[in-house]
Amino acid sequence: MRKIVIAGNWKMYKTQSEAKTFFSEFPAHLKTTASQAAIADQQILICVPYTNLAILQTILPAIGQANLSIGAQNVHWAENGAFTGEISAPMLLEMGIKYVIIGHSERRQFFGETDETVNKRLKAAQAHGITPILCVGESKQQRDANETESWIFSQLAADLIDVDQNNMIVAYEPIWAIGTGDTCASSEANRVIGLIRGKLTNPNVTIQYGGSVKADNIDEIMAQPEIDGVLVGGASLDPAGFARIVNYR
Ligand code: PGA
């Protein structure tokens, strides 16, 4: 059975004190523990800036929400070394971090991330038992030129070389839908995610949709049979709003 993963991506938002405020409010908006037990197959994840990882890991036990985890937004492939500004898998693991976003379009667009470096980062995360969320998706120009499928297939082919498909999540994030309010039609997201699944050797990989997911479109998105969760940027910053997304059912 495919696991449902509802994830937030805070990007470069929230100082430590702002993160603590979020977590002082967020749990009260979640469904009761009893109904959470009934949805034990659902993982809630919030991927935060590095500066918030340790502090939130210490807050998490007091929240008592077993299916709630904190994740990172990138990881380097080396164990350690002269890589200024980077962070390694052992550094994340020592803090108990078990999830990391890799290959987000903002990393690819603004920080020179390539399929080759994405592949190295994926393998490094997995080698330390950290589950990567691999982001793929097309630009507006590629969609308009009917290159959506070929582009995503080429990303998957290069990114997934020697990657263990038993320990990963894929997020389909059309670039034109990220932060624009211009959500991909849920039926179209479902179609593309079905095509992505067809390219994987493991049919049980959780595949999320990401791009302008909000409280008022989550029900429609999650009703799609191929969509196993969402990766939420802007709408994950507000505790009540993100809880509404988590509580979609
Ligand atoms: P958005 O971002 O929800 O703000 O569109 C999604 C993402 O970049 O993961």
Express each pLDDT in 113-150 by its tens digit.
999 999 999 999 999 999 999 999 999 999 999 999 99
Q: Which residues are catalytic, by number?
A: 104, 173
- One-letter amino acid at 159 equals D
- Decide if pLDDT at 31 tops 90: no
Which mutation among 108, 212, 237, 245 tests ligand 1's pocket best, with the greatest number of atoms within 8 A of CB? 212
* Percentage of the chain exceeding pLDDT 70: 96
Tell which residue, 5, 137, 15, has the closest CA to residue 71. Answer: 5
Q: Please say if the pLDDT value at position 200 is more than 80.
A: yes
pTM of the model: 0.96
Neighbouring-strand partners of residue 207 = 170
pLDDT band at 41 (very low <50, low <70, confident <90, very high): confident
C-beta separation of 229 from 205 below 8 A: no
Task: Report the CATH number at residue 110.
Answer: 3.20.20.70
What does the pLDDT read at residue 36?
52
Query: For the chain, what is the mean pLDDT?
Result: 95
pLDDT score at 171: 98
Number of separate domains in the chain: 1
What's the pLDDT score for residue 183? 87
pLDDT digits (tens, 9 = 90+) for 206-234: 999 999 999 999 999 999 999 999 999 99
pLDDT recorded at residue 40: 64
Share of the chain above pLDDT 90, in %: 93
Amino acid 35: pLDDT: 55
Probe ligand 1: pick from 9, 12, 108, 237, max atoms within 8 Å of CB?
9
For the cut 80, the answer to whether the pLDDT of residue 33 exceeds it is no
Tell me how far the alpha carbon of residue 179 lies from the centroid of ligand 1, in angstroms.
5
b/e sequence 188-203, b meaning 16+ C-beta within 10 Å: ebbbbbebbbeeeeee
Residue 9 CB–ligand 1 contact under 6 Å: yes
What is the rounded average pLDDT of the residues 180-189? 93
Domain that holds residue 111: 4-246
Q: What's the rounded mean pLDDT across residues 24-48?
A: 80
